[in-house]
Chain A
């Protein structure tokens, strides 16, 4: 069965510091992996996705993630945090031969300190 684990329900960084949000997945078939961001009382916005092409994926707002099959990880990074990055971040997995339904992790809330 496919699943996603996000380590750390809350991550706090200073403005300008590196952002690292961790995601590990479990999948018996080649996965497609996603990061979504959610601002309060809003829906989810796609940050980036991995679909078996380049393992280093660049997304919007300066975020990127690297797919590491050997570590079953897809961690999200940003070199320099901005106050506007404060939000909830969700990692999700799906796979072919399915409805492409997304299986989400429980989320990581990013706090950015001035």
Chain B
């Protein structure tokens, strides 16, 4: 049973550096979501793909954040010019269209910006 995987699991970077995270969804799932979770809070929606199309972005996403899903399979989330406030857990989830309410989450990437 291959679930949602994320890489890396942990990332430590210095302020101002760029970082990229990868998410591999469950293979037949056409919807992919990114969430951000800060300490002591619930996850907050960042963006959503249906196949390769990015259909919605949260206002949380500044122009330093970008996400892609080029072939409708894996996705990447890039943060440019990282700030200390970007330190958080970045979670990816996937679901099957038509049964879109089921979202399966990956283990997350924990980002620490020094």
Complex CA distance for A100 and B32, rounded to whole angstroms: 11
Interface of chain B residues 1 through 24 with chain A (CB within 8 A): 4, 6
Please tell me which stretch of B38-46, B61-69, B70-78, B79-87 contacts chain A, meaning at least 4 of its Cβ atoms lie within 8 angstroms of it: B38-46
The majority secondary structure among interface residues of chain B is: strand
User: A107 — which chain B residues lie within 8 A by C-beta?
Assistant: 40-42
Q: Tell which of B42, B48, B106, B108 touches A101, judged by Cβ atoms closer than 8 Å.
A: B48
Complex CA distance for A32 and B6, rounded to whole angstroms: 26
A45 at the interface (CB under 8 A from B): yes
Query: Contact at A100–B105, with CB atoms within 8 Å?
Result: no
**Residue tally, chain B, CB below 8 Å to A:** 28
Query: Contact at B45–A90, with CB atoms within 8 Å?
Result: no
Q: Which bracket fits the contact residues of A?
A: 20 to 34
Query: Contact at A92–B48, with CB atoms within 8 Å?
Result: no
Query: Contact at B56–A49, with CB atoms within 8 Å?
Result: no
Which of A36, A99, A103, A106 has its CB near the most chain B CB atoms (within 10 A)? A99
Complex CA distance for A103 and B48, rounded to whole angstroms: 13
Query: Contact at B43–A99, with CB atoms within 8 Å?
Result: no
Interface of chain A residues 64 through 105 with chain B (CB within 8 A): 90, 92, 94, 99-105
